[in-house]
Amino acid sequence: MTGLSEVINAGWSGLDAATEALQTVSNNTANINTPGYDVESVQQAELPGLPGEPGTGAQVTSIQRAYDQFVFSQMVGATSTNQAAQVAQDNAENLTAIFPVASGGEGGLGATLTSFFSGMNAVSQDPTSLPNRQTFLSDANALAVNFNSVGNQLAANLTSLNAQLTGAVAQVNTLTQQIASLNSQIEAQSNSSGSGPPLALMDDRDNLVQQLGQELGITVASGANNTVNIYTAGGASLVAGSSASNLTVTSGSYGAGSSLQVIYQPNGENIGASLSGGTIGGVMSSQAQVVAAQNAVGGLAAAVASAVNTQQSLGLDLNGAQGADLFSVGGPTVLADQSNTGSGTLAASITNTDAFIPGNFIVAKSAGGYEATNIATGQVTALGSGPILSFDGMTLTVSGTVNTGDSFEIEPTASAAQTLTVTATDPSAIAAASPYVATAGANLGNITASAFSSAASGSLPAGTVIVPATQFGQNLTVKFTSATTFNVLNASNTVIASGSFSASSGAEIAIAYPSPPAPAGEVDEMALSPGTPATGDTFSFTPGGVASNGNILAMTGLSSQNLLSGQTLTSAYSTLVGQVGSAGQTASFNAQAASGVLNQVQSVQQSISGVNLDQQAADLVVYQQAYQASAQVIASAQTLFDDLLTAMQAA
């Protein structure tokens, strides 16, 4: 048996439910722009009546948020990947801007190298011209300045990447703390009553998780009582329920100047290598590219400086003196591990740029001797037990005691581009002239003398007469004492060497260069042609005069010689540009793909959790009508009740 009061109660419950639903709609529309907000909906159920009778109204059983754990994880992942790709793309754009290719690479290192050799060629065309020499010196300065500028830009990129890393790690720590704290509130509220999960807190928390994903690639796992646990890609726990673990950024054990490390506080380990995704992942991969570019550009600077300086030392400047260095360039940086137990040190130098492959190395002493590990590629080279260690055109000299387990980081060319400077200021310091010119006397025989050229003493044919370096720069005379023998006399007519001559193969004579500045074993060599000399025939060797271009011509030849890693300077540079370009292209493709994936996942997530205003408008109408109807039920019940009372009074 149902009474009017049941009708009123049911109507009242309908009003109540409609009000709550209307509030949900208004909350949904109010939060349309709230990040991380998941659209909410009311779940209603009938209030059951007695058996065989109608129900007694409606009730709101719960408010639910439209949320899909799987889609949310996907979105966090896509956010991380996208952020890493965007950071990498930004960095790649910065990097490609340093190596311009527009208009044939105008303003880039390649163009400056070409004009450097162009200036050098003008000197070789007329070595006596001071304007030519001055122009060449200016070209050399422009080259050094361009190298400095590229080096500085790369160093600035590294600094900004480091700052980005430090900032991102600080952000990670803040976010994990906040998530842990929200976790604990959610846990408390979920436990306290049966009123349903704290949706707003969970939305907030999930929004923070997504922000965390922006900084770092993470794995999200559901915990008890609506909490979440968060791990890095490498499996280190960042948030476990209500506790968070911090990360710190420090310079590595090789001290200032070595690459930064990300330390996982709970165990003090460097987990940098296992981090991927997010700003941090993007910075990590970008750093490797910038360091590679820095080393390659440094390698170019070191190769130019070394080759030009060596060639300078093999010629005579305008004043007739052996050429001094044109460039100065910083040598390799050696950083000792702070945990080394031995006091030994390592000195590194690049002895052969052509065999040298730019890159940073860790040289460690193991029980089996020293070994070098390329930081970028991980390739290991065994170096033997020292004290002189040679590999890839580098020579390392160990001094003092190095214990097993001690290690050093070697950065051969990290600072070379920044430190390249032109030391010569006087245009006459350019060593254009050959050290010697051979001039035949009034000879009866038919022997002719070749021009002098520099060579390594080891490459000379057997029987070559080598005049010691102490005589270098003096006027020398070759005098035949018979058809098969000759003496070499110095300016004071003292015999300083003698040799034999063959009618069929001639003879070779060389004068050793003072070393340093010239490389050890380097000689200036010439050949006497085969033929018939007469006793008393002479050839005088005199230092090359102002118009001699023998040495600068050899220097211009450097442009087509393999000077760096088996490549010419220009081809090494174009390889570098190609590498930077293809890294940029990959980064740009990745960024496009990642942002496409993110958009896709975002639209899926939004289709589930987003607020559609039209939907809300429709809901508003529905719930409004439900409210009005329920109100009408109560009004009708009241009328019925009044009718009943009136009838009773009338009766």
Partner 1 sequence: MQISTNEFLLGSLNDLLQQQQHVNTLDREIATGETMLDASSDPSGAGQVIGFANQVGTLAYDTANGQAATQTLQDSVSTLQQVTNLLDQLSQTASAAANGTSTEEDRQSDISATQSLLQQLVQLANTQDANGGYLFAGSKSNAPAFSTTSSGQVVFEGDAGTNQVEIAPSLSVASTVSGQNVFMNVPAGTDGIAVSAATSNTGNAYAVTQGVTNISQITAASLAGAQYDITFSGSGQSLTYQVTSGTGIPGSAGYNATSGVVASGSFTPGGSVSFAGIDVEINGTPASGDSFAVQPGAATSLFQTAQDLITALGMPQNTGAQASQAQQALQNVLVDIKASQTSVLSAQATLGSSLSEIQSVATQTSAQSANAQTAMSNLQSANMPQVLSNYSESLTALQAAEEAFAKVQNLSLFQYLVP
The minimum distance between CB 502 and partner 1, in angstroms, equals: 12
- Return d(Cα 223, Cα 243) in angstroms, integer: 13
210 or 258: CB nearest partner 1? 210
> By CB under 8 A, is residue 607 in contact with partner 1?
yes
> By CB under 8 A, is residue 583 in contact with partner 1?
yes
The amino acid at 503: A
- Return d(Cα 524, Cα 455) in angstroms, integer: 6
> By CB under 8 A, is residue 96 in contact with partner 1?
yes
291 or 591: CB nearest partner 1? 591
> By CB under 8 A, is residue 129 in contact with partner 1?
yes
What CA dihedral angle connects 92, 93, 97 and 101, to 10 degrees? Answer: 80
For the chain, how many residues are written?
651
At residue 514, φ and ψ (nearest 5 deg) are: -65, 130
Provide the angle, in degrees to the nearest 10, between the axes of the packed helices 278-313 and 130-192. 160
Site string for partner 1, 321-350 (x = CB under 8 A): ------------------------------
What is the Cα Rg of the chain in Å?
41
> By CB under 8 A, is residue 142 in contact with partner 1?
no
Half-sphere exposure of 70 (CA within 13 A, CB side): 1
Closest residue by Cα to residue 96 from 35, 29, 41, 153: 153
Residue from 390, 610, 631, 641 binding partner 1 (CB under 8 A): 610
Residue from 574, 631, 636, 641 binding partner 1 (CB under 8 A): 574
> By CB under 8 A, is residue 97 in contact with partner 1?
yes
Closest residue by Cα to residue 87 from 234, 289, 250: 289
| Strand, helix or coil for residue 237 | strand
Which range in 218-226, 342-350, 421-429, 536-544 contacts partner 1 by CB under 8 A?
A: 536-544
Which range in 200-208, 326-334, 353-361, 533-541 contacts partner 1 by CB under 8 A?
A: 533-541
The minimum distance between CB 102 and partner 1, in angstroms, equals: 6
The minimum distance between CB 542 and partner 1, in angstroms, equals: 5
Residue from 381, 515, 615, 636 binding partner 1 (CB under 8 A): 615
The minimum distance between CB 533 and partner 1, in angstroms, equals: 8
133 or 365: CB nearest partner 1? 133
> By CB under 8 A, is residue 114 in contact with partner 1?
yes
DSSP string, 507-558: EEEEEEPPTTTSPTTEEEEEEEPSS---TT-EEEEE---TT--HHHHHHHGG
| Strand, helix or coil for residue 149 | helix
> By CB under 8 A, is residue 224 in contact with partner 1?
no
The minimum distance between CB 31 and partner 1, in angstroms, equals: 11
Exposure b/e, 310-325, CB count within 10 A at least 16 = b: bbbbbbbbbeeebbbb
> By CB under 8 A, is residue 502 in contact with partner 1?
no
> By CB under 8 A, is residue 193 in contact with partner 1?
no
Residue from 17, 18, 39, 402 binding partner 1 (CB under 8 A): 39
What are the Cα distances from residue 481, in Å, to 111, 433, 505? 55, 31, 18
338 or 599: CB nearest partner 1? 599
> By CB under 8 A, is residue 435 in contact with partner 1?
no
66 or 201: CB nearest partner 1? 66
Residue from 195, 339, 439, 505 binding partner 1 (CB under 8 A): 439
Residue from 64, 498, 575, 636 binding partner 1 (CB under 8 A): 575
The minimum distance between CB 415 and partner 1, in angstroms, equals: 24
Give burial (CB, 10 Å; 0-12/13-18/19+) of 250: exposed
> By CB under 8 A, is residue 585 in contact with partner 1?
yes
Residues of this chain, 554-573, that bind partner 1 according to CB under 8 A: 556, 559-560, 570-571, 573
At residue 93, φ and ψ (nearest 5 deg) are: -65, -40
62 or 615: CB nearest partner 1? 615
The minimum distance between CB 631 and partner 1, in angstroms, equals: 18
Closest residue by Cα to residue 316 from 473, 451, 427: 473
111 or 376: CB nearest partner 1? 111
Q: Quick one: tokens of 256?
A: 């200032």
Residue from 3, 33, 256, 648 binding partner 1 (CB under 8 A): 33
Which range in 109-117, 160-168, 398-406, 520-528 contacts partner 1 by CB under 8 A?
A: 109-117
Which range in 108-116, 234-242, 324-332, 397-405 contacts partner 1 by CB under 8 A?
A: 108-116
> By CB under 8 A, is residue 603 in contact with partner 1?
yes
Residue from 273, 347, 593, 613 binding partner 1 (CB under 8 A): 613
Q: Quick one: tokens of 347?
A: 């000195």
> By CB under 8 A, is residue 651 in contact with partner 1?
no
CA 194 to chain CA centroid, Å, is 54
- Cis peptide upstream of residue 514 (ω within 30 degrees of 0): no
Give burial (CB, 10 Å; 0-12/13-18/19+) of 407: buried
Residue from 182, 247, 438, 591 binding partner 1 (CB under 8 A): 438
DSSP string, 157-186: HHHHHHHHHHHHHHHHHHHHHHHHHHHHHH
Residues of this chain, 469-488, that bind partner 1 according to CB under 8 A: 482-483
